[in-house]
Chain A
Amino acid sequence: MDFYLGLIQIIGVHTLLGLSAYCVLQTGQVSLAQAGFFAIGAYVAGMLTVLGHWPLIPALIVAAVLGGATACAVGFPALRVKGLMLVVATTAFGEAVRLFFFNFNYQLERGELKIGPHGGEGFRQIRYFPENGWSTLEVAIFIWVIVVIVMAALWWMDRTRAGAVLRAVGQDEFASQSSGINITAVKVTAMTVGGVIAGIGGGLFAHYTTHIEHVQFGVALASFAIAYPILGGLSNVFGTLIAVIFIQGFLIEGLRFMGDWRNLLFGGLIVLAMNVRPRGLIDENTSALFKRALWPRKDRAGA
């Protein structure tokens, strides 16, 4: 049982990571900086609970605020460019954040032990959950309460004017600009929301893996962040969730019985999925189909 609960934790946190990229992708921008915001969240939340003895929730709030603030600060200059330029510019920023933590050394003496981030050797013993007696189930529920809140908020946002504006910018910048939308403000807002979500995700990540180091927050993680929403489809938040379940649940854990073949299939099946469903596992048509089939239950699924 613990195994499945652990997997559910991982799926929850990766969903947050994917959703942070989902927000930015809504405006038609591909950002590889999400791993950077995720790293900021992880280190900040970890330092607050371990070094500052803060409870987890305030630490996560600070992580979210800092993640969002960084995203906002980066968004202003970065979102002047788009397309491949933005991909590389955000990669550069994400890598810069990772390398900052590679050089980041802040250790406190605690008895004989030194605790805190230690440059390239990482930040060990972020054991808030076990030290406070949280069971795997409780951690999983905690993570998923946050995931559900974030998903519900995004679902709601998708349906409001804000969502329409985001999509308008994503689908045709010139048209939306001509109809009076301030596209820079929209993009930066999307980036900031993405940063907040990534910050929370990172904070949770640090606590369930108990050890973080700069290597974890590299280009690979950033690629996964955008892979989830793209693979899942951008029509609604459930696409991202489905893609996370597909990658973390099926490709990584579900195929474990394939042994050596598993990792070969990993890349291969992503390629296949994109060939078969180029607009994502859940594209507009699928979600329309679901909506028709599940019309009476739509509200419950959304809340």
Chain B
Amino acid sequence: MDYLDFIDTIQSIADGVLFGATYALLGIGFTLIFGVMHKINLSYAAASIGAAYASLLILAGFKVPPAFVFVLSALCGGVIGGLVYWIGFKFIPLNNPLATLMSTLGLLLLIDEIVVHTTQGVPLAYPVLFSDVIIPAGPFNLRGDLIFVFMLGCICMVLLLLLIYRTRLGIATRAVSQQPVASALCGISTTRVNILTFVITGVLGGIAGAMIGAAIGMLSPLLALPLTVKGLIVCVIGGLGSIPGAILAGLLVGGLENLFQFWRGVSERDLYIMLLLFIFLVFRPGGLFATAPGRD
């Protein structure tokens, strides 16, 4: 029995870590926007779910392979990302973080309610990919679809890093994030860079939304708020603006969640997670990859 308990503990953590890949994808989006604009976009998770919904609704009635739905979700995500920038950020002065906090909160409510109104709030089945693939590893079983999500997260990360460090757009993005005024003086269009950041994170969000839909097998507007909270948690644990940090944090949150689920049961699970998070943030405010604690 002890052996079984041990196996189950490891398996629980493994399952959680793999599911954490979806949190990681969301965390990257939050962290990227924060890295460039030093703003929180609270509507990000809702927009991601919204993109997944949009792809489903546009293709309702057509028989298409799941991969096509995912690609469409990414495209919808890009469009929604651009819209979010236009509606929630464009006209609000940059030096006013509280105002954008509120406007994106409003957008979160708005996007969620649009989804509710078009679907009556009923959960919808989402196409799945590799869901019947179970990879046995010794006494453990790993979910194929989650490994796929995990790989996808890694690919996104590599692409993003390439984009940020190897392209002109990336240089412009970093310039804007470090010295907005100076970069504007150098002829970089801040608005254009910001819009592109939102579109890129939106595409990423669309992918995340589709992956979440595929991993759960269903979409529900119920997901928006909890995922927003998880995304924020992942974003700060990883260290603001750090993409590898966000990935690691996503997996960590997923794993811990399942570990506490296994140990303490559901009613106490989140209580411990939240207390741990509180302690972590207070004593290591820079996140996992912090250089110097206590700095903003």
**Do chains A and B make direct contact within the complex (CB under 8 angstroms)?**
yes
Tell me the A residues contacting B by CB distance below 8 Å. Answer: 25, 30, 77-78, 80-85, 87-89, 91-93, 95-96, 99-100, 102-103, 119-120, 218-220, 223, 226-227, 230-231, 260, 263-264, 266-271, 273-275, 278-279
Question: How long is the Cα–Cα vector from A87 to B228 in the complex, in angstroms?
Answer: 13
* 13 contacting pairs across A/B (C-beta < 8 A): A81-B282, A84-B34, A84-B232, A87-B232, A92-B274, A95-B229, A95-B270, A99-B267, A263-B113, A266-B109, A267-B108, A274-B88, A278-B91
Contact check, A88 vs B233: say whether CB atoms are below 8 A apart: yes
Which residue from chain B places its CB closest to the CB of A266 in the assembled complex?
A: B109
Question: How long is the Cα–Cα vector from A53 to B229 in the complex, in angstroms?
Answer: 39
Question: How long is the Cα–Cα vector from A78 to B110 in the complex, in angstroms?
Answer: 31
- Min CB distance B204 to A, Å, is 19
Chain A binder among B8-16, B60-68, B94-102, B138-146? B94-102
Contact check, A89 vs B282: say whether CB atoms are below 8 A apart: yes
Q: Answer whether A278 and B296 are a contact pair too, CB < 8 Å, given A84-B236, A88-B236.
A: no
Residues of the A chain whose Cβ atoms lie less than 8 Å from the Cβ of B277: 88-89, 92
Q: Answer whether A91 and B294 are a contact pair too, CB < 8 Å, given A270-B103, A274-B92.
A: no
Residues of the B chain whose Cβ atoms lie less than 8 Å from the Cβ of A30: 98, 101
Q: Answer whether A275 and B271 are a contact pair too, CB < 8 Å, given A30-B98, A264-B113.
A: no
Residues of the B chain whose Cβ atoms lie less than 8 Å from the Cβ of A275: 87, 91-92, 103
Question: How long is the Cα–Cα vector from A95 to B281 in the complex, in angstroms?
Answer: 15
Question: How long is the Cα–Cα vector from A77 to B285 in the complex, in angstroms?
Answer: 11
- CB of B216 closer than 8 Å to a CB of A: no
Residues of the B chain whose Cβ atoms lie less than 8 Å from the Cβ of A93: 274, 278
- Min CB distance B46 to A, Å, is 10
Hey, what's the 0/1 contact readout for B69-88 against A, CB within 8 Å counting as 1? 00000000000000000011
Taking residues whose C-beta sits less than 8 angstroms from the other chain, chain B's interface range is 35 or more
- CB of B124 closer than 8 Å to a CB of A: no
Contact check, A87 vs B40: say whether CB atoms are below 8 A apart: yes
Question: How long is the Cα–Cα vector from A227 to B98 in the complex, in angstroms?
Answer: 9
A219-B225, A266-B109 are known; give 11 further A-B pairs, CB within 8 A.
A84-B232, A102-B267, A218-B225, A230-B99, A230-B102, A268-B106, A270-B106, A270-B109, A274-B100, A274-B102, A275-B103
Q: Is chain B's binding surface mostly helix, strand, loop or mixed?
A: helix
A-facing residues in B194-247 (Cβ within 8 Å) = 225, 228-229, 232-233, 235-236, 240
Question: How long is the Cα–Cα vector from A88 to B278 in the complex, in angstroms?
Answer: 8
Residues of the B chain whose Cβ atoms lie less than 8 Å from the Cβ of A102: 267, 271
Residues of the A chain whose Cβ atoms lie less than 8 Å from the Cβ of B274: 92-93, 95-96, 99
Question: How long is the Cα–Cα vector from A196 to B180 in the complex, in angstroms?
Answer: 41
Question: How long is the Cα–Cα vector from A230 to B116 in the complex, in angstroms?
Answer: 27
Contact check, A279 vs B96: say whether CB atoms are below 8 A apart: yes
Residues of the B chain whose Cβ atoms lie less than 8 Å from the Cβ of A85: 236, 240, 281, 285
- Min CB distance B41 to A, Å, is 11
Please tell me which one of the listed residues A84, A99, A219, A231 contacts residue B271 in the complex, with CB atoms under 8 A apart. Answer: A99
Contact check, A84 vs B40: say whether CB atoms are below 8 A apart: yes
Question: How long is the Cα–Cα vector from A274 to B101 in the complex, in angstroms?
Answer: 9
Contact check, A271 vs B281: say whether CB atoms are below 8 A apart: no
Residues of the B chain whose Cβ atoms lie less than 8 Å from the Cβ of A83: 296
Q: Answer whether A230 and B267 are a contact pair too, CB < 8 Å, given A84-B40, A88-B281, A219-B225.
A: no
Residues of the A chain whose Cβ atoms lie less than 8 Å from the Cβ of B88: 271, 274
- CB of B36 closer than 8 Å to a CB of A: no
Please tell me which one of the listed residues A89, A223, A227 contacts residue B281 in the complex, with CB atoms under 8 A apart. Answer: A89
Q: Answer whether A266 and B278 are a contact pair too, CB < 8 Å, given A30-B101, A103-B268.
A: no
- CB of B176 closer than 8 Å to a CB of A: no
Question: How long is the Cα–Cα vector from A267 to B268 in the complex, in angstroms?
Answer: 33
Question: How long is the Cα–Cα vector from A219 to B274 in the complex, in angstroms?
Answer: 13
- CB of B252 closer than 8 Å to a CB of A: no
- CB of B93 closer than 8 Å to a CB of A: yes
Question: How long is the Cα–Cα vector from A69 to B100 in the complex, in angstroms?
Answer: 32
Q: Answer whether A80 and B40 are a contact pair too, CB < 8 Å, given A99-B274, A270-B109.
A: no
A-facing residues in B155-204 (Cβ within 8 Å) = none
